[in-house]
Amino acid sequence: MQARDIHGGIHFHPPSPAVPPRLPVPQQLPPVSARFVDRETDRRTLNALSAQWPPHAPQVFVVSGLAGIGKTTFAIRWLFEHADRFPDGQLYADLGGQTTDVEGGPVSPAVVLEAFLVALGASSVPAGTAQRSALWRSMTSGLHLAVLLDSAFTAAQVRPILLGTPTGLTVVTSRSNLTGLRVEGASVHRLEGLPAESAVELLAIGGGNRVVREPAAAREVVRLCGRLPLAVALASAQLALRPYRSVSALADILSRGRGAVDTLRADGEAVMRTALDMTYDILPDESRALYRRTGLLPADRYDLSLLTALAGEDGGSGDTTDIAVHALVEANLLEETGPGTYRFHDLVQPHARRLGEELENSGQHERTLRCFVDWCLSTAASAERILTPSHRLPGHDVPTGTAPPTPLDGPEEALSWLDTHRGGLMGAVRHSAQVGWDFSCWRLTDLMWPLFLRLRPSAMWIEAHRLGLVAARHSGSRQGEGRMLTSGAIGLRNAGRYPEAADWYRQALEMATADGDVRHQAQAVNGLGHVRLLTHRLDEAREHFEHALWLRESIGYRRGAALSRRRLGETALAAGDLDTAAEQLRRAHTALESLGEQYEATRVLALLGHVLDRCGEHDGGARRLREALARFRAGSARSEHWEARCLEWLGRAADAVGDHAEAVRHFEAARLLFRRLSPEDARRLDSRLRRP
């Protein structure tokens, strides 16, 4: 400034400081996969959890599940749908990646906090994790911010990064359930495999019209993939890469060898196997050993008592086993399906088996499988004592102490155990046959009698008795051979294979006659009579049943005599002699009730109710049928097959008195049961329901 005279005050105005450029709102979420399908139920669940969250608390959701289940894709998709709730941004960190300073380890919370603070504009970042966490909570206070912490290993890894403001949301994905965060108030949502229809839709992205042309093969592929989105997407990519490969050819490839875990690859890597290996590697030693040994078992369900016996190979206690099992459940490798009952996911089991075969020596293999078979024997023996005590075979008790049985509290629990473990029991029979454990093979088949009697799995029934018959002959057990022939003949008979059933009965009769075993002779003769009845040779059937009755009464076998009377009643019913049928059934029912044979007595009661209804005694017949129905639905006489028969007969009874609406209701309920138990009976009811 230059001037001769200056009047008034002089003011100096320094230039205004430059306004720093505003940082962009962080939008760090990875892009949504173009192959996202379904998850509608899961989205609704997370929406409901968010809507019900207390307004004063920060929202924390854990999305857990098996490797490849689609946790990250689902979380990203859900957060994008709710992006308008978080105008201050969305932050993302992969906690399962590698840090820059610790090779091979998961990302530390300090590294994540540094990146988040810088993204929010922090000019300097403190050195310590605690200081960074404090600054993080200060800078995010009041912000409407969403944070996705992907592939977390532990709750401790996540805890310092959690938002402290109720206006924010943290979503954590993990292969573990992160129970530590649940204890502190987080909500855990576990993802399951896709519904079959949605998995097929995902497969069709790469498979195109081949999936439409081969629907059965497509369903088989997604089943072999465990309905895991990652595995199905890899299968879809294989179909896209090989346009001339059929879906059935892919299904065949996945069903052989090590299955989808090793077959489905991306860039040459078995992605699913690598993911499962990583989960396995961080398990405690006891859990890894239990995982490997359980994988060796030919079963699809495992009781805690069995797992305790397997862990006991190393001297572990029940408490130790519970801790090992908990770690497997926490890691989503083992799923709890009921009180003390567990299963592997379909894709986890082959992985566990591979590790068991590779890392357990041959001696441990045999000890593990011997323990499993002994546990099947001991628990099946307990179920037999509860459900069919008259079937017990004296002199062939299962050795105690090798593998304690699962405790069974009453008939319903015993039958439920047999139903739940039918796959494992059959696996034990097959393994015993394969390695030459002949006694275990036929004896376990014999002990499974209440399973065959009540649940009627025809294919399993026949296969088990074929294997058991060969094993009994190898071991030189005449009693075992006789039991396999007569029990197996019933399975063949129920499957409609009458000539073969008759041949087995004749073999049993020849054996029993040679051995002078009157009781077994009567059983074989009775069985031959039943084959004659089912093939409508009624006179021959009556002769056989009368002969069996005479043999059984001659040795004072009251239960057997009552069962022969039941068959005579059925023969009279088939011949239209309803009075004789009712008389024989009444006598059989009285005898069985006096012997405490609830199941057999209830079957006769149902037959008697049906006969009385046919005689015109509609009220008395329907009353007995309703009583039998209630018994078949619960308690010691529980049987879905006979429940369905009662419902059908009640439908006929209602039809006979003109109550057509009630008849239809009963027929439809029976058809629903028969669709699962007996397709032929279901088709018969379909025809009846189509009648005007």
| 3-state SS record for 272-312 | HHHHHHHHHHCCCHHHHHHHHHHHCCCCCCEEHHHHHHHHH
Q: Is residue 8 part of a domain?
A: no
Query: Residue 101 has what pLDDT?
Result: 45
137 and 52 both lie in a single domain: yes
- The DSSP secondary structure of 636-657, one letter per residue, reads GG--HHHHHHHHHHHHHHHHHT
- The DSSP secondary structure of 12-72, one letter per residue, reads --PPPPPPPPPPPPPB-PPPPPTT----HHHHHHHHHHHHTS-TTS-EEEEEE-STTS-HH
Contact 431, 369 (CB under 8 A): yes
> pLDDT tens digits for 474-527?
999 999 999 999 999 999 999 999 999 999 999 999 999 999 999 999 999 999
Query: Residue 102 has what pLDDT?
Result: 43
49 and 163 both lie in a single domain: yes
In total, how many domains does the chain have?
A: 3
Q: Is residue 638 part of a domain?
A: no
183 and 231 both lie in a single domain: no
Instruction: Tell me the CATH number at 77.
Output: 3.40.50.300
133 and 220 both lie in a single domain: no
54 and 134 both lie in a single domain: yes
> Count of H helices and E strands in the chain?
34, 8
Beta partners for residue 171, in sequence order: 61, 148
3-state secondary structure of 437: coil
Q: Is residue 384 part of a domain?
A: yes
Which of 490, 524, 551 represents a domain boundary (last residue)? Answer: 490
Q: Is residue 619 part of a domain?
A: no
76 and 136 both lie in a single domain: yes
Q: Is residue 485 part of a domain?
A: yes
Q: Is residue 229 part of a domain?
A: yes
3-state secondary structure of 413: helix
Q: DSSP class of residue 103?
A: T
3-state secondary structure of 202: helix
182 and 201 both lie in a single domain: no
Tell which residue, 141, 140, 170, has the closest CA to residue 158.
Answer: 170
153 and 239 both lie in a single domain: no
Which of 273, 308, 340 represents a domain boundary (last residue)? Answer: 273
Strand-strand pairing, 59-64 and 187-190: parallel
Q: DSSP class of residue 164?
A: -
Which of 233, 255, 273 represents a domain boundary (last residue)? Answer: 273
- Specify the residue for token string 């045999």: 366
Q: How far from chain centre, in Å, is Cα 19? A: 63
Query: Crossing angle of helices 229-241/215-224, nearest 10°?
Result: 130
243 and 365 both lie in a single domain: no
Low-confidence spans in the chain with pLDDT less than 50: 19, 99-102
Q: Is residue 588 part of a domain?
A: no
Query: Residue 264 has what pLDDT?
Result: 82
108 and 209 both lie in a single domain: no
Q: Is residue 581 part of a domain?
A: no
- In degrees and rounded to multiples of 5, residue 149 shows phi and psi of -105, 105
Distance CA 270, CA 258 (A): 11
220 and 173 both lie in a single domain: no
170 and 203 both lie in a single domain: no
Residue range(s) defining the domain that contains residue 178 = 40-190
- For residue 73, which amino acid is it? T
